[in-house]
Amino acid sequence: MKLIIAAIKPFKLEEVREALTSIGVRGMMVTEIKGFGSQSGHTEIYRGAEYAVNFVPKVRLEIVVTDSLADQVVATIATTAKTDKIGDGKIFVLDVAQAVRVRTGEINDDAL
């Protein structure tokens, strides 16, 4: 099993969710986060005063899938979340040692 963690632009969330659902992803966790990468934030003007925004809003997706589906999930997120502008995000893939469905006690692939 693989844990896929993706940080994407918030306005791309629904489009990415629909694309993942269409390839068979059955669930995901979503968290609103702030961060910075290559863009290192930006400046904005509010009521005439300029101030620095050091952390940019993002959405973090956490998805656990079978090994066989992992590459397709990564490719789907990468193509769907892409805007060709700086700050499109990052995707990380980690190994998962065990998964348990609390309600039924199913483990690993059956728990997904």
pLDDT at 48: 77
Q: Write the CA distances from 109 to 26, 43, 71, 74, 103, integer angstroms.
A: 12, 46, 16, 18, 15
| pLDDT category of residue 43 using cuts at 50, 70 and 90 | low
- Higher-pLDDT residue of 101, 45: 101
- Residue corresponding to tokens 């059956």: 110
pLDDT at 36: 78
User: Counting every residue, how long is the chain?
Assistant: 112
Between CA 21 and CA 110 the distance in angstroms is 18
Predicted TM-score (pTM) of the model is 0.85
pLDDT at 47 exceeding the cut of 70: yes
What pLDDT digit, counting tens, does each position of 86-97 carry? 889 999 999 999
pLDDT at 54: 74
